[in-house]
């Protein structure tokens, strides 16, 4: 490649990225997941489009898709709050394993008996579309505050179910006979156990190191966090475990460890996640050949109808029956099983393996994802409100940023009081911070001042809190507790006392 060709490639890439960023704004106003707009950009650039670019390298698409998925899972894990996801872990674990099995069985039976596909192709489609996409779900639910149990279950399920689904798709994509069901179950259990152990070990080890080693520049912390998350995936995959589960768990540990510059870490990961999604969806749009989709349109619609109206609800109600969740929550989770990047990426695995009919599987999955995202995406907020699951009274969590003061053996915590925080109206003395911590500066309406114990905090205030090393975690815990429960936090069971 010459320098001139490189410059042209950079120009085209930057223009595509700018168009995709504008598409984010359009999707936020329309209520549609942005993945559809990114796919549209790729389709428009590819065959049958205005760009007329011929691209059919499924292997390259799979490699780039895996790399993007690692970044997306890392970003999702860093943004997952442990206190919200912890009560939902048992339900999400069952939904991501037993629920996947039920969904695969019903969807595969539909593809075999109604569409007439061979069992291998039917099982491939059932496995591929059984993985949900958290990014697609929450891109349309971002304006609808939901109960923490619902969001926690959906987040955990989407983070966990990628691992068993990948194992199933790889098993069904082998050229020889497919292993017996008990062999598959044992393989899934072993790989999940290895991936979970490595992910937790890397996450806790990385958090321990980052909290005790002061890096020379704040910009190095986000890079270090992402490097640790990617290392967890690599270690899990090399150990023949689930690398996807490893990266998600490691990132979740890092995101809840109170690391220095935590908001910056999450912002950096979110930016990388957007770039990964944009690049991945544009590439998937390039890979598809639009005129070949027409023949697989109605089979995709029928399989998607069985998945959405039968397989997903049955898997949800059977998996969550032991947990006695309200039917409204189960109904929303049944409809919130959006498919996004993961199924389309997984559909490239049988193409790379050379499985007969793999192109048909890819086309069906592509159409299914697009059609049912158009149907489910805009209706999710309406359904949440119809089921009265919007939690408009919930207090907004505080974003606390920490910068280590190595020589002073202390930490400088900075935070802003959001609109719905219950810290509004609380006096500084009523924060009841632990000994060794104090509010040293308040910035209000562009004016900074040193507060007194009687200073009343208001919405929009920016606070600087200095805490010694031993009470740093307790200080942040107390600040978050007051933000959720007000001045009586701790006395009313809200924690942080």
CA–CA gap between residue 267 and residue 191 (Å, rounded): 31
- Read off the tokens for 75: 């970003």
Q: Count of CB atoms within 10 A of residue 14's CB?
A: 10
pTM beyond 0.85: no
Tens place of pLDDT for every residue, the chain, 497 residues?
577 666 766 676 676 666 656 666 555 555 556 677 778 888 888 777 777 777 778 888 888 888 888 998 898 888 887 877 888 889 989 998 899 999 999 999 999 999 999 999 999 999 999 888 766 665 655 556 677 788 888 888 887 888 888 888 888 888 767 667 778 888 888 989 999 999 999 999 999 998 887 777 777 889 999 999 999 999 999 998 889 899 999 999 998 888 887 778 888 888 888 788 888 888 888 888 888 888 889 999 999 999 999 999 999 999 999 988 899 989 989 998 888 778 888 888 998 888 888 889 999 999 998 888 888 877 887 888 888 886 555 556 666 666 666 666 788 888 889 888 889 899 999 999 999 899 999 999 889 999 999 999 999 899 999 998 888 888 988 998 888 888 887 654 444 44
Terminal-residue alpha carbon distance, the chain: 62
Q: What are phi and psi of 450, to 5 degrees?
A: -85, 120
DSSP strand pairing (447-449 vs 437-444): antiparallel
Is the four-CA dihedral 258, 73, 151, 96 of positive or negative sign?
Answer: negative
């Amino acid at each position: 490649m010459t320098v001139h060709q490189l410059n042209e490639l950079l120009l085209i890439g930057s223009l595509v990225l700018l168009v995709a960023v504008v598409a984010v704004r359009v999707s936020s106003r329309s209520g549609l997941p942005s993945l559809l707009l990114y796919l549209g950009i790729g389709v428009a650039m590819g065959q049958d489009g205005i760009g007329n670019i011929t691209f059919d390298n499924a292997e390259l698409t799979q490699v780039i898709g895996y790399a993007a998925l690692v970044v997306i899972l890392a970003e999702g894990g860093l943004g997952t709050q442990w206190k919200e996801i912890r009560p939902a872990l048992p339900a999400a674990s069952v939904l991501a394993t037993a629920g996947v099995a039920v969904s695969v069985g019903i969807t595969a039976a539909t593809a075999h008996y109604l569409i007439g596909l061979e069992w291998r192709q039917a099982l491939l489609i059932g496995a591929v579309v059984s993985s949900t996409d958290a990014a697609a779900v929450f891109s349309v639910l971002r304006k609808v505050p939901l109960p923490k149990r619902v969001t926690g279950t959906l987040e955990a399920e989407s983070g966990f179910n990628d691992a068993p689904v990948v194992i199933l798709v790889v098993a069904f994509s082998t050229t020889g006979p497919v292993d017996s069901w008990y062999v598959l179950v044992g393989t899934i259990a072993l790989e999940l156990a290895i991936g979970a152990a490595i992910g937790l070990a890397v996450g806790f080890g990385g958090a321990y190191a980052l909290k005790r080693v002061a890096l020379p520049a704040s910009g190095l912390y986000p890079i270090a966090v992402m490097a640790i998350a990617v290392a967890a995936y690599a270690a899990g995959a090399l150990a023949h475990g689930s690398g996807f589960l490893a990266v998600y768990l490691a990132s979740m540990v890092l995101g809840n460890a109170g690391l220095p510059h935590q908001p910056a870490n999450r912002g950096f990961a979110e930016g990388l996640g957007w770039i990964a999604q944009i690049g991945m969806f544009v590439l998937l749009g390039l890979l598809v050949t639009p005129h070949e989709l027409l023949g697989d349109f109605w089979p995709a619609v029928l399989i998607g109808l069985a998945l959405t109206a039968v397989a997903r609800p049955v898997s949800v109600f059977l998996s969550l029956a032991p947990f006695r969740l309200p039917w409204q929550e189960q109904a929303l989770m049944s409809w919130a099983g959006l498919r996004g990047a993961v199924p389309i990426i997984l559909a490239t695995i049988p193409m790379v393996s050379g499985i007969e009919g793999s192109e048909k599987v890819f086309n069906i999955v592509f159409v299914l994802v697009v059609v049912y995202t158009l149907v489910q995406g805009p209706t999710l907020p309406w359904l949440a409100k119809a089921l009265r699951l919007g939690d408009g009274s919930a207090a907004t969590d505080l974003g606390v940023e920490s910068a280590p003061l190595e020589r002073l053996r202390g930490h400088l915590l900075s935070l802003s009081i959001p609109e719905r925080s219950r810290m509004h109206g609380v006096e500084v003395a009523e924060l009841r911070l632990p000994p060794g911590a104090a509010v040293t500066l308040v910035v209000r309406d562009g004016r900074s001042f040193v507060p007194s114990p009687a200073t009343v905090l208001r919405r929009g205030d920016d606070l600087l809190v200095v805490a010694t090393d031993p009470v740093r975690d307790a200080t942040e815990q107390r600040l978050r507790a007051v933000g959720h429960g007000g001045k009586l936090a701790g006395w009313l069971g809200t924690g942080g006392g």
